[in-house]
């Protein structure tokens, strides 16, 4: 069954590569760019939630830390995008490490509430520290990526929507590959073991605190990457960007697409970000729309879209096997 479906990722990649040539409307191309950025954020949250089983409700804070750190590095220190990106993502990861040390010693709802409190604190600091963040006025004039030099004296200039689209797509693919390699390694198996049964994992010689802290830190780094891409694309940041609603949005994307899957967060993001725009749903009704979709998913597709597809595929495969044996 899987062998017959190996062409699907390649077909999706081909469609993603030619999208700017097909989608000439700037409005829809902008939606695709934002979908790519939020997909990175959802994938990063899925690393700690879907694979390690920890509900991090401070993900919006780490996304915002990456965004604000990159903006300040570019505006205050005059660093270009290519230097600011790893530094800002590293700052988000450093905060994640420091917060994870005490927070990950708790479990379940205690961990979720603790991270939510941290998210609220970060939002308040960003809102009130006007000397650094400009507070409610927001940071404006954030520069875009500097031209990327190529051999032969050529360069890639990021002055068009298509160029920004390919930039976001490149980082989305890198995020996918990084998470895929992690989950194929012994580290990834340790993450899954902790998600399944932390006490049993510890009995098998796995260090739960160390592995959870690693997952949390990498997740925060990738969230910071998403924040940097957002800042340099939009060019403006406000305290709302660090709000806990960012964490809940990413959580919804994951739940709809499929928790603990690679494709799920991307599918969920594309569905939730693009469908309201395609249906021209007014902003005041979008939360209602999200809620209705989430209720339907919880009742009829509790494992998400990808989980449902896998379930149907395995069921069909078992039915075919029984038919052949008979």
> Which residue would you say has higher pLDDT here, 312 or 172?
172
pLDDT of 3 > 80? The answer is no
Helix (H, G, I), strand (E, B) or coil at 22: helix
The alpha carbon of residue 97 and the mean position of all alpha carbons in its chain are separated, in whole angstroms, by 18
Length of the chain: 326
The mean of the pLDDT values for the chain is 88
In angstroms, the CA 187 to CA 33 distance is 31
Query: Among the ranges 138-142, 214-218, 322-326, which has the highest mean pLDDT value?
Result: 214-218
Q: Residue 315: what pLDDT?
A: 61
In angstroms, the CA 192 to CA 183 distance is 9
In this structure, are strands 139-140 and 148-149 parallel, antiparallel, or unpaired?
unpaired
Give one word for 185, left, alpha or beta, with left for phi > 0 and alpha for psi -120 to 50.
beta
Q: E strands within the chain?
A: 139-140, 148-149, 155-156, 236-237
Give one word for 58, left, alpha or beta, with left for phi > 0 and alpha for psi -120 to 50.
alpha
Q: Residue 299: what pLDDT?
A: 86
Helix (H, G, I), strand (E, B) or coil at 58: coil
Q: What is the mean pLDDT of residues 138-142?
A: 90
Q: Residue 322: what pLDDT?
A: 52
How confident is the model over 32-66, as pLDDT tens digits? Answer: 999 999 999 999 999 999 999 999 999 999 999 99
Q: What is the mean pLDDT of residues 179-188?
A: 94
Which of the four pLDDT bands, split at 50, 70 and 90, describes residue 2? very low
Q: DSSP state, 138?
A: -
pLDDT of 28 > 70? The answer is yes
């Amino acid at each position: 069954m899987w062998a017959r479906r190996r062409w699907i990722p390649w077909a999706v990649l081909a469609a993603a590569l030619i999208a700017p040539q097909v989608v000439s409307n700037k409005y829809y191309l902008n939606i695709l760019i934002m979908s790519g950025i939020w997909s990175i954020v959802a994938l990063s949250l899925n690393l700690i939630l879907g694979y390690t089983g920890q509900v991090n409700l401070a993900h919006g804070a780490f996304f915002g830390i990456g965004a604000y750190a990159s903006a300040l590095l570019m505006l205050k220190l005059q660093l270009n995008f290519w230097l600011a990106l790893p530094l800002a993502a590293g700052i988000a990861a450093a905060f994640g490490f420091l917060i994870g040390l005490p927070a990950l010693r708790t479990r379940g709802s205690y961990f979720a509430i603790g991270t939510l409190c941290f998210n609220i604190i970060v939002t308040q600091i960003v809102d009130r520290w006007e000397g650094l963040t400009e507070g409610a006025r927001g940071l404006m004039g954030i520069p875009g990526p500097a031209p990327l030099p190529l051999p032969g004296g050529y360069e890639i200039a990021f002055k068009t929507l298509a160029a920004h689209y390919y930039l976001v797509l490149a980082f989305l693919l890198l995020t996918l590959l990084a998470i895929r390699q992690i989950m194929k390694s012994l580290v990834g198996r340790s993450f899954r073991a902790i998600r399944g049964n932390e006490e049993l994992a510890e009995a098998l010689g796995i260090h739960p605190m160390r592995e959870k802290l690693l997952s949390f830190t990498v997740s925060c780094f990738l969230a910071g990457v998403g924040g940097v891409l957002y800042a340099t694309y939009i060019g403006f940041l406000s305290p709302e960007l660090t709000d806990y609603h960012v964490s809940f949005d990413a959580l919804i994307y994951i739940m709809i697409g499929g928790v603990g899957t690679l494709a799920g967060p991307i599918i969920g993001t594309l569905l939730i970000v693009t469908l309201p725009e395609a249906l021209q749903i007014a902003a005041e009704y979008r939360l209602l729309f999200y809620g209705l979709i989430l209720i339907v998913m919880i009742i009829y597709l509790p494992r998400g879209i990808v989980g449902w597809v896998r379930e149907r595929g395995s069921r069909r495969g078992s039915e075919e096997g029984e038919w052949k044996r008979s």
